[in-house]
């Protein structure tokens, strides 16, 4: 018996491990289209018409051929877990069924390209970063159960969460992302929000975030986190909330550095000026008060501007000034003001950690859509 270790069977890189076959199935064969499958309703069997006279047969009903996911064959495998699957050219063997993961890698990659185009045409980098943060920022390390623990679980698509005071304006971000979600149904909302957030950082000139995907969505508003888990603009609340999520002082300061991108709008947050000389002409919708002069560029100017306090048109909140007043925070804020490379390194690690908070991954180790995981650590257990 010859074993074909990994036979590619679908457009989303779903694989059947070690299919036992007498005739090796070519790894380049794609069997996800109706052209390669023939249905015999009289015998309730499905035959593959790919070369080598290999056929697959098991009981089926015509309705079983309807699937929301694009990979027909993987759908058949998934829904026939109790049936023996025959892959043979004259003998019978049974194999385990390959699994459809939470998100499809190919669709994640394509969605990322569409997000880049969206960013470059609408200048929505700040709100996309904020959306990923606020989705994951409801996580509570003291709660073990999913989804009660909060975190990156797709809850921000529900009105009950969008109406939380801390999420004012994020309905606009969802509206921008919804066409991408509809175009790529194999991408979960939880993955889409984090993908958009990381892509926005990178597209604005920030560091490459070592992201993994495969987050599972909650299914109903009843599973959403309650209001009050997000940080506000008070200095004391900053440490309380980020400690609840499991962050260190270094990670808190690094993550705050993302305010180098974006503006605060008083009609949404209650903070900032209606407009300044840096925001009155856009780009994008004019108005608001930014933390930095070039508020669509991701760099370390946030720390420099806080330290120097040179311009009244730049925003300073209590959560900003405390970074240079608190002895523990100040160590890292001074370092990041002087060394952008160190800031980028620490920020990328902290952002990746934030994006994983509370998430349930399928598969448990996550999905990597770049060439390989960048020195990926074992998956965290939440």
Shortest CA distance to 256 belongs to which of 133, 125, 105, 73?
133
Is residue 37 within 8 Å of residue 47, measured between CB atoms? yes
Tell me if the bond preceding 283 is cis, omega within 30° of 0: yes
Is residue 154 within 8 Å of residue 215, measured between CB atoms? yes
Question: Which residue has 């697959």 as its token pair?
Answer: 56
Helices within the chain (DSSP H only): 72-78, 105-122, 125-136, 159-162, 170-183, 189-203, 235-244, 249-256, 266-269, 301-308, 318-321, 327-338, 340-356
- Across the strands, what pairs with 39? 46
Is residue 324 within 8 Å of residue 306, measured between CB atoms? yes
Shortest CA distance to 72 belongs to which of 12, 146, 121, 138?
12
Residue 7: in which H helix or E strand, if any?
strand 2-8
Q: How far apart are CA 39 and CA 72, in angstroms?
A: 13
Shortest CA distance to 217 belongs to which of 323, 103, 81?
103
Q: Is the dihedral of CA 108, 114, 118, 120 positive or negative?
A: positive
351 is catalytic: no
Q: How far apart are CA 333 and CA 323, in angstroms?
A: 6
Shortest CA distance to 185 belongs to which of 70, 299, 52, 340?
70
Q: How far apart are CA 153 and CA 297, in angstroms?
A: 28
Cβ neighbours of 109 (radius 10 Å): 14
- Of the residues 75, 134, 164, 351, only one is catalytic, namely 134
Is residue 367 within 8 Å of residue 108, measured between CB atoms? yes
Report how far Cα 144 is from the mean position of its chain's Cα atoms: 21
Catalytic residue ranges? 134
């Amino acid at each position: 018996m010859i074993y074909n270790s990994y036979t590619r069977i679908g457009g989303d890189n779903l694989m059947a491990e070690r299919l036992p076959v007498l005739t090796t199935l070519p790894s380049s064969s794609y069997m996800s289209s109706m052209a390669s499958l023939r249905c015999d309703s009289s015998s309730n069997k499905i035959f593959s018409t790919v070369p080598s006279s290999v056929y697959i047969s098991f009981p089926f009903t015509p309705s079983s051929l309807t699937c929301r996911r694009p990979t027909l064959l993987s759908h058949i495998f998934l829904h026939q877990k109790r049936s023996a699957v025959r892959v043979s050219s004259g003998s019978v063997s049974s194999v385990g069924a390959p699994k459809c993961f939470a998100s499809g890698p190919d669709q994640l990659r394509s969605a990322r390209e569409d997000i880049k185009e969206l960013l470059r045409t609408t200048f929505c980098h700040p709100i996309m970063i904020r959306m990923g943060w606020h989705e994951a920022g409801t996580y509570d390390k003291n709660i073990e159960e999913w989804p009660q623990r909060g975190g990156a679980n797709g809850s921000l698509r529900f009105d009950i969460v969008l109406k939380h005071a801390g999420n004012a304006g994020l309905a606009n971000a969802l509206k921008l992302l919804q066409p991408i979600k509809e175009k790529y149904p194999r991408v979960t909302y939880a993955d889409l929000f984090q993908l958009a957030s990381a892509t926005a950082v990178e597209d604005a000139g920030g560091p490459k975030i070592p992201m993994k995907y495969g987050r599972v969505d909650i299914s109903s508003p009843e599973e959403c986190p309650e209001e009050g888990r997000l940080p506000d603009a008070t200095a004391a609340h900053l440490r309380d909330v980020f400690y609840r999520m499991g962050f260190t002082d270094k990670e808190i300061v690094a993550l705050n550095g993302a305010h180098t991108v974006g503006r605060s709008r008083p009609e949404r947050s209650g903070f900032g000026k209606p407009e300044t000389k840096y925001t009155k002409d856009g780009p994008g919708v004019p108005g608001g008060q930014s933390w930095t002069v070039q508020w669509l560029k991701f760099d370390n100017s946030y720390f420099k501007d806080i330290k120097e306090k040179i311009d009244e048109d730049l925003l300073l909140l209590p959560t900003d000034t405390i970074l240079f007043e608190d002895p523990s925070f100040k160590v890292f804020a001074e370092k990041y003001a002087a060394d952008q490379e160190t800031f980028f390194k620490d920020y990328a690690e902290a952002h990746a950690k934030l994006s994983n908070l509370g998430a349930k991954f399928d598969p448990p180790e996550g999905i990597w859509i770049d060439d390989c995981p960048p020195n990926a650590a074992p998956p965290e257990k939440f």
